[in-house]
């Protein structure tokens, strides 16, 4: 059985990379957030969440990103999300103007070079 | 003349004595108490010093000392006598009474009988319809010649006892197996919108070795299992329970039926399941377009459609479970396009003594036409079983599982518990509905997202911890799609971020109408389809 969503976690030069695939809704958003948050240590400079392989995300998915971003910001850590344009999540995120509050990128490469520049 | 009247008097006396013993067998006692009470009376009516019952353990073909009077040590020591060996063993194997005038080491195996100083013995088999249940024997500590009337009396007693015991043991086992059955057959089939499950389970005698299972996976896929464990009774039921649990665990971890069945196959030794097990395990994918399955020595699934029904297998089934080590099972794939239903079953449905398996399969195919189109699937399965049995009594257990695929429809109606886990189920149903309407791309995503937010609202805000129901309706009116989400709760604003859900709905749909009352909340959303 596929889980509704899965996350693979890694770390590169002090930036945690969380690659999520599947679907995010009310049933799994909090668990995903905890999984990602627990991986990030105080020593990490920040977190990039890659939603390239997410086929569906609702407002619970947005909430996940907002809460993560706030938690990291409180610790002086950076947070960015990879959400390709034309994807279902991106269209939903754009409607609520999420890009104004969270740095959002089309590709992982863009997000990574942004993180480099921020260091 | 004199002797005749004496004979009658003897018979009357004998009858009285038999009844004295037999009425115990009819009393409402547990099998253990029944035997104890019985032996006391047997000893009494025959004037014997000892009396004992040994019951047959069919697995090991041994007689087990179960109850005794005067030689209680026999039971305490758990004496087991192989059928065919010694005094009791001989009675069981030859099914005839045996009298020993003077006990001799050569013809008595059981050391307790010798140590007790039993001199003379009489034993008879406990038979029910020619089937040996065990042995009943009496003994005397002084020399005694058990004569023909004694033999007859003990035989008559044994006959009644065997019947009573059989009913009692059977009743005991039946209650136990019924309880077990509940653990291996689904009591309620899972609710999967778009699929309808109907099953029949007809054990040949007592309880059988067939089992089936339906498991709704969170991905929206549905796992189906139909299995057959050789054997009957409590042991087969326990084996099935183990298999079912193990298969559920394996199914939850795997995506490919071949992986799932291979994993289960490797567990077989651990599960301690004796006897052959055949299994059909498969997964209906989330959009119900195909059925991927493995047949481990099992009869092939039947696909019913508007045309000829067909068996979804190329004739190369894998071997039954646990027959060859590290066997790699193969996944078959059958398209469900134009399919109306899937029929899974065990070989009891088609087996007949006088006919080949392929002839049985062909009969099933021919008789199954009406099942696919039946309005009452349960009645259709009953009549399918009846017509395949054709008046003869079933010799094997029969299990049948019918999975009907609802025809594509322009409208959708779901009723679900307002629970976070329902979100994905609603989404899958909406996806199928939209795909049937050929709504694709961004428009499809928009409707899914907006409907998902409305449903999430009901899940999050309508009910307290007790929960409740919600309805999701979808329809097309001309060139407009309408989605309605209704719950029966009181709107409770809680948490943050719900405002975002409402914003999404308004942005993605042409109009969104809320109706809130004491009876609940209804959200109706419209979205215009592009003109073609």
Å between A41 CA and nearest CA of chain B: 27
Percentages (nearest 5) of helix, strand, coil residues in chain B: 40, 25, 35
Per-residue confidence at B236, pLDDT binned at 50, 70, 90? Answer: confident
Q: Which residue(s) pair with A50 in the sheet?
A: A19, A82
Helix (H) or strand (E) holding B419: none
The answer, for A63 touching chain B at a CB cutoff of 8 Å, is: yes
Number of Cβ within 10 Å of residue B123's Cβ equals 25
**How confident is the model at residue B12, as a pLDDT?**
61
Q: Is A116 near chain B, with CB under 8 Å?
A: no
Chain B residues with CB under 8 Å of A26 CB are 420, 423, 456, 459-460
Q: What is the pLDDT of residue B410?
A: 77
**pLDDT grade, residue B181 (50/70/90)?**
low
How many whole angstroms separate alpha carbon B367 and alpha carbon B351? 14
Cβ-contact B364, B388 below 8 angstroms:
yes
Average pLDDT over residues B99-128: 84
| pLDDT bucket at A1, cuts 50 / 70 / 90 | very low
Strands A5-12 and A46-57: unpaired
Q: Which domain holds residue A30?
A: 5-118
Strands (E), B87-169: 98-100, 120-128, 131-140
Q: What is the pLDDT of residues B1-37, one digit of tens each?
A: 333 334 445 656 666 666 666 665 555 666 667 778 8
Q: State the nearest Cα–Cα gap between B422 and chain A, in angstroms.
A: 9
Our CA angle for B385, B387, B389, nearest 5°, is 65
pLDDT of residue A78: 95
How far is B280 from B268, CA to CA, in rounded Å? 16
**Interface contact A27-B424, CB threshold 8 A:** yes
CB contact under 8 A, A1 and B445: no
**Residue A27 touches chain B, beta carbons under 8 Å:** yes
**Nearest-angstrom CA–CA distance, B329 and B278:** 13
Identify the pLDDT of residue B304. Answer: 92
Q: What is the mean pLDDT of residues B95-121?
A: 83
Q: What is the CATH number of the domain that holds A89?
A: 3.30.750.24
For the segment B379-400, the average pLDDT, to the nearest whole number, is 85
Q: What is the pLDDT of residue B209?
A: 76
Instruction: Tell me the β-bridge partners of A5.
Output: A22
pLDDT tier at B162, thresholds 50, 70, 90: confident
- Counting the structural domains of chain A, the total is 1
A26 touches chain B (CB under 8 A): yes
The whole-number pLDDT of residue B1 equals 36
Q: What is the DSSP string of B27-49?
A: SS--HHHHHHHHHHHHHHHHT-S
Task: Assess contact for B364 and B395: CB atoms under 8 A.
Answer: no
Is pLDDT larger for residue B105 or for residue B401?
A: B401
Give B55: exposed, middle or buried? Use CB within 10 Å, 0-12, 13-18, 19+: buried
Average pLDDT across chain B, whole number: 84
Q: Containing H/E element for B309?
A: none
Interface size A-B, in CB pairs within 8 Å, comes to: 78
Q: Strand, helix or coil at B279?
A: strand
Helix then strand count (H, E) for chain A reads 4, 5
A88 touching chain B per CB within 8 A: yes
| Sign, CA torsion B350/B355/B358/B363 | negative
Q: Is the CB of residue A5 less than 8 Å from the CB of residue A21?
A: yes
Chain B nearest CA to A117, separation (Å) = 31
More confident site: B504 or B392: B504
Which of A3, A60, A91 has its CB closest to that of B456? Answer: A60
CB contact under 8 A, B445 and A58: no
Q: Which own/partner pairs from B436-442 qualify as long-range (CB within 8 Å, at least 24 positions apart)?
A: B436/B408, B436/B409, B436/B410, B437/B410, B437/B476, B437/B481, B439/B481, B439/B529, B442/A91
Whether the predicted pLDDT of B177 surpasses 80: no
pLDDT band (50, 70, 90) for residue B441: very high
Cβ of residue B408 closer than 8 Å to a chain A Cβ: no
The 10s digit of each residue's pLDDT in B41-54 is 888 888 899 999 99
B485-514 residue pLDDT tens: 999 887 666 555 568 899 999 999 999 999
- The CATH number, out of the four listed (3.60.40.10, 2.60.40.10, 3.40.50.1000, 3.30.70.520), of the domain defined by the range B185-405: 3.60.40.10
* Superfamily per CATH, domain B2-177: GAF domain (3.30.450.40)
Min mean pLDDT across B102-116, B129-143, B246-260 is at B102-116
Give rounded-to-5 percent helix, strand, coil for chain A: 40, 30, 30
Read off the tokens for B21.
Answer: 């013993």
Q: Is the pLDDT of residue B183 over 70?
A: no
The reported pLDDT for the residue numbered B3 is 37
Q: What percent of chain B has pLDDT over 90?
A: 34
Check: CB of residue B397 under 8 Å from CB of residue B204.
Answer: yes
Distance from CA of B219 to the nearest CA of A (A): 6
A10-20 pLDDT per residue, tens: 998 899 999 99
pLDDT on residue B271: 80
> Would you say the C-alpha torsion B74, B79, B80, B84 has a positive or negative sign?
negative
- Per-domain residue ranges of chain B: 2-177, 185-405, 412-528
* Domain B412-528, architecture per CATH: 2-Layer Sandwich (3.30)
User: What is the ipTM for the molecules in this complex?
Assistant: 0.92
Residue A113 has a CB neighbour count (10 Å cut-off) of: 12
Closest CA of chain B from A115, distance in Å: 27
With an 8 Å Cβ cutoff, is B249 touching chain A? no
If we measure between CA atoms, which residue out of B329, B364, B320 comes closest to residue B343? B364
CA of residue B279 relative to chain centroid, distance: 13
Q: What's the pLDDT at B5?
A: 39
For A18-31, write each residue's pLDDT tens digit: 999 999 999 999 99
Q: Which two tokens stand for residue B96?
A: 């005839």
For an interface test with A, the pick among B259, B423, B448, B496 (most A C-beta atoms closer than 10 Å) comes out as: B423
- The 8 Å CB, 24+ separation contacts for B445-448 are B445/A88, B445/A91, B446/A91, B446/B508, B446/B509, B446/B527, B447/B481, B447/B483, B447/B508, B447/B509, B447/B527, B448/A56, B448/A88
Which residues of A fall within a CB distance of 8 Å from B507?
A: 95
A61/B contact by beta carbon, under 8 A: no
Q: What is the pLDDT of residues B447-492, one digit of tens each?
A: 999 999 999 999 988 888 888 899 999 999 888 999 999 998 876 6
Question: Each residue of A36-66: pLDDT tens digit?
Answer: 999 988 899 999 999 999 999 999 999 999 9
The answer to whether B452 contacts chain A (CB < 8 Å) is: yes
CB contact under 8 A, A91 and B442: yes
């Amino acid at each position: 059985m596929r889980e509704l969503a899965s996350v693979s976690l890694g770390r590169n030069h002090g930036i945690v990379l969380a690659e999520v695939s599947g679907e995010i809704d009310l049933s799994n958003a909090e668990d995903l957030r905890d999984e990602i948050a627990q991986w990030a240590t105080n020593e990490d400079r920040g977190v990039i969440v890659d939603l390239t392989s997410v086929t569906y995300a609702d407002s619970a998915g947005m909430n996940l990103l907002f809460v993560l971003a706030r938690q990291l910001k409180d610790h002086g850590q950076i947070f960015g999300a990879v959400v390709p344009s034309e994807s279902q999540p991106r269209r939903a995120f754009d409607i609520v103007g999420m890009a104004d509050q969270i740095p959002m990128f089309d590709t992982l490469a863009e997000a990574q070079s942004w993180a480099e520049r921020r260091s | 003349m004199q002797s005749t009247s004496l004979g009658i008097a003897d018979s009357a006396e004998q009858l009285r004595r038999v009844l004295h013993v037999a009425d115990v067998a009819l009393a409402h006692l547990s099998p253990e108490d029944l035997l104890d009470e019985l032996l006391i009376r047997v000893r009494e009516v025959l004037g014997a010093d000892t009396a004992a019952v040994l019951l047959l353990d069919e697995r090991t073909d041994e007689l087990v000392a179960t109850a005794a009077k005067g030689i209680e040590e026999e039971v305490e020591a758990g004496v087991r006598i192989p059928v065919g060996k010694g005094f009791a063993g001989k009675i069981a194997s030859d099914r005839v009474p045996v009298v020993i005038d003077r006990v001799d080491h050569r013809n008595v195996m059981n050391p307790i009988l010798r140590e007790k100083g039993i001199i003379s013995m009489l034993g008879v088999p406990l038979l029910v319809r020619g089937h040996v249940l065990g042995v009943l024997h009496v003994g005397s500590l002084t020399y005694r010649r058990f004569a023909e009337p004694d033999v007859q009396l003990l035989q008559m007693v044994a006959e009644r006892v065997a019947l009573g015991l059989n009913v009692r043991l059977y009743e005991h086992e039946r209650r136990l197996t019924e309880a077990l059955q509940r653990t291996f057959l689904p009591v309620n089939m899972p609710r999967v919108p778009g699929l309808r499950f109907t099953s029949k389970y007809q054990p040949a005698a007592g309880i059988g070795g067939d089992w089936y299972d339906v498991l709704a996976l969170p991905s929206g896929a549905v796992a189906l299992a139909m299995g057959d464990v050789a054997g009957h009774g409590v042991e087969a039921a326990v084996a099935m329970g183990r298999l079912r649990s193990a298969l559920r665990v394996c199914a939850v971890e795997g995506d490919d039926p071949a992986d799932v069945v291979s994993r289960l196959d490797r567990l077989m030794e651990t599960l301690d399941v004796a006897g052959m097990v055949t299994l059909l395990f498969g997964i209906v994918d989330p959009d119900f377009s195909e059925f991927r399955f493995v047949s481990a020595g099992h009869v092939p699934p039947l696909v019913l459609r508007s045309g000829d029904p067909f068996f979804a297998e190329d004739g190369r089934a894998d071997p039954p479970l646990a027959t060859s080590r590290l066997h790699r099972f193969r996944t078959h794939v059958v398209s469900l396009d134009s399919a109306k239903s899937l029929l899974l079953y065990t070989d009891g449905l088609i087996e007949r003594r006088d006919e080949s398996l392929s002839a049985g399969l062909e009969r099933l195919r021919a008789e199954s036409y009406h099942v696919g189109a039946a309005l009452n699937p349960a009645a259709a399965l009953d009549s399918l079983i009846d017509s395949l049995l054709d008046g003869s009594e079933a010799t094997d257990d029969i299990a049948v599982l019918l999975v009907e695929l609802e025809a594509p429809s322009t409208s959708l109606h779901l009723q679900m518990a307002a629970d976070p886990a329902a979100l994905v189920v609603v989404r899958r149903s909406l996806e199928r509905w939209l795909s049937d309407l050929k709504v694709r791309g961004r428009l499809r995503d928009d409707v899914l997202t907006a409907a998902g937010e409305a449903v999430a609202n009901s899940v999050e805000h309508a009910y307290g911890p007790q929960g409740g129901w919600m309805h999701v309706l979808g329809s097309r009116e001309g060139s407009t799609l309408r989605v309605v989400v209704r719950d029966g709760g009181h709107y409770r604003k809680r948490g943050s971020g719900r405002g975002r859900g409402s914003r999404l709905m308004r942005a993605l749909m042409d109009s969104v109408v809320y109706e809130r009352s004491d009876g609940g909340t209804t959200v109706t959303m419209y979205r215009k389809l592009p003109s073609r």
